[in-house]
Amino acid sequence: MKSWSEGLHLKQWLQWLVGDAPFPDGRSRTALASVVLLAVAVAAAVTLSLQAPPSPATTTDGGATPGSPVVSATTPTPSTSTTASSQPASTVTSVPAAATTSPAGTKAQRHHATSTVRSGGRTRVHHGTAPASRSRSAPATSTTVPPPRPNATPSGVTVASSTDPAASTIAAAIVAGAQAQVASDPPAPTPPDPPTAVRAGIGHDSSRVSWSPPSSGGSQPVAGYNVYAATSPGGEAIAPVNGTVPVTGHSWVVTGLTAGTAYFFDVRAVNAVGLSAPSTEVSSTPTSARQAVGSIASPVTGAASAPHGAGYWSVNEEGAVSAHGFAVAYGSAAGLKLDAPIVAMASTPDGHGYWLVASDGGVFAFGDAVFHGGMAGQTLNAPVVGISPTPDGQGYWLVASDGGVFTFGDATFYGGTGGQHLTAPVVGMSAAPGGQGYWLVASDGGVFTFGDATFYGGTGGQHLTAPVVGMSAAPGGQGYWLVASDGGVFAFGSAAFHGGAGQATLSAPMVGMTVDQATGGYWLVGWDGGIFSYDAPFLGAG
């Protein structure tokens, strides 16, 4: 008894009832719930058995040996007679005598028999006696079966009815108890969802793969990430390139790659339960090792010009900033621990500051640039690839490679291509001069206009020898330029063509361009920090 009560933790329940103990733990609740459910089931079985009619007597003759008890029963033949008259029919029913057990050789007892006569709506009961059977085996019987009544239930069968309050209550209690037990069970452990916004950068014999956290970490916190590489689509190896220890940040540089070979990457999140499904696959083609042109290490990922046209900045993926001409260095993110690489930069309207943006949507403000918000730490469907400020500098837009647009400060949302099927990823954006619209450009040169931005043309649907990597609006906003990774420049609207490097042999691919607002010319910036100027002064590289 003591072990039984301890198993149910009755002491804890009694103490809780009088207020001397907290509500018992899950183990105690589970034990008590199990006992209650068992008791309810037993009570239901007993109740149903009491409601069932007794089964008719059974005659057994198993070839008993002398001296053994003999069970015998007589089954009178019920008879039914119906007389046509103006009165109701009379029915005479003989009820069989109860079965008795008597030892062999003893005087048989007499059995009491009862018959009931119903006639004319009245019932008369007759009592009498019938001799008990002296045989060891059941006598042969014959039965005249009365005609069945409509919807009659066979004798010995109990049919549960939805109108039976007791049965309904018991069934409801059993179902409720089972549901409560299931609800109290802990959810099954699950792995995390795949990482999002995966991106692969170009490096010298290497590639930096970056990503954003998954939309759900599963039933356990995300412990890290594994990066997988292959030289063919979908052929990622089983072993991650980061080794046996998961990456705790949101980027990893894959080294030891062959220049000129295309590589494919995917990323999986890890928690205590296991690995997520693979992320969206991305690819990049590393270049051969080169010496950076300027003071900052490659790869350079973006550039911005001062509005007066007397200087420009360039930035690499680690957030290091290089200033040239009269442009002033107001700071960099090189000393910060970045969760994702820097992908672009933009100048403030007065040229006394700038913003840097990372592929996870993190924004870094320097000088008089004001931080208005960012997407760092949030789940992205695609990596951020560009930033464009509003004309007054009190806000900015971010754009992701799927064309999703994010607004901050006084920037207004005019639309985007997020959620739509694109034939090529978006690689950049530029705001219309009045701030009432913007353009997006894809790597195939397709241009998308929103707000009051006007479409002046594009290269979507045309064959390009190299992908488009960026765009810039012309002074006055009546046109724009597109630049490809081979240095080719495409001018539309009022934007004048001042030249390009499409026919030149480049030591590194182009990654973007920025406009000289004073001369109307432009600069192209290379992955290695090289600067190419067209009708704009060359003020230094790197």
Going from the N-terminus, what domains does the chain have, and what CATH number goes with each?
2-47+167-184 (no CATH), 196-284 (2.60.40.10), 300-534 (2.130.10.10)
CA distances from 320 to 209, 329, 340 (A): 19, 10, 14
Cα 508 vs. chain centroid, distance in angstroms? Answer: 41
pLDDT of amino acid 477: 86
For the chain, the distance separating the N- and C-terminal CA atoms, rounded to the nearest angstrom, is: 85
pLDDT of amino acid 176: 73
What's the residue count for the chain?
Answer: 542
Beta strands of 380-501 (E only): which ranges?
384-389, 395-400, 405-409, 426-431, 437-442, 447-451, 468-473, 479-484, 489-493
Beta strands of 311-362 (E only): which ranges?
311-316, 321-325, 342-347, 353-358
As to burial, measured by CB atoms within 10 angstroms (0-12 exposed, 13-18 middle, 19+ buried), residue 232 is exposed
pLDDT of amino acid 384: 95
Task: Quick: pLDDT tens for 106-148.
Answer: 333 443 434 443 434 444 444 444 444 343 444 444 444 455 4
* β-pair type (224-230, 263-270): antiparallel
Which residues neighbour 355 within 8 Å (Cβ) at sequence distance 6 or greater? 345, 346, 348, 363, 364, 365, 366, 369, 387, 389, 396
d(C-alpha 175, C-alpha 231), whole Å: 57
Instruction: Show the low-confidence residues of the chain (pLDDT under 50).
Output: 1, 56-145, 148-162, 289
CA nearest 285: which of 467, 113, 148? 467
The answer for 63, left when phi > 0, alpha when psi is -120 to 50, beta otherwise, is left
d(C-alpha 80, C-alpha 82), whole Å: 7
Which residues neighbour 25 within 8 Å (Cβ) at sequence distance 6 or greater? none
* β-pair type (426-431, 437-442): antiparallel
Alpha helical stretches, state H, 162-283: 165-184
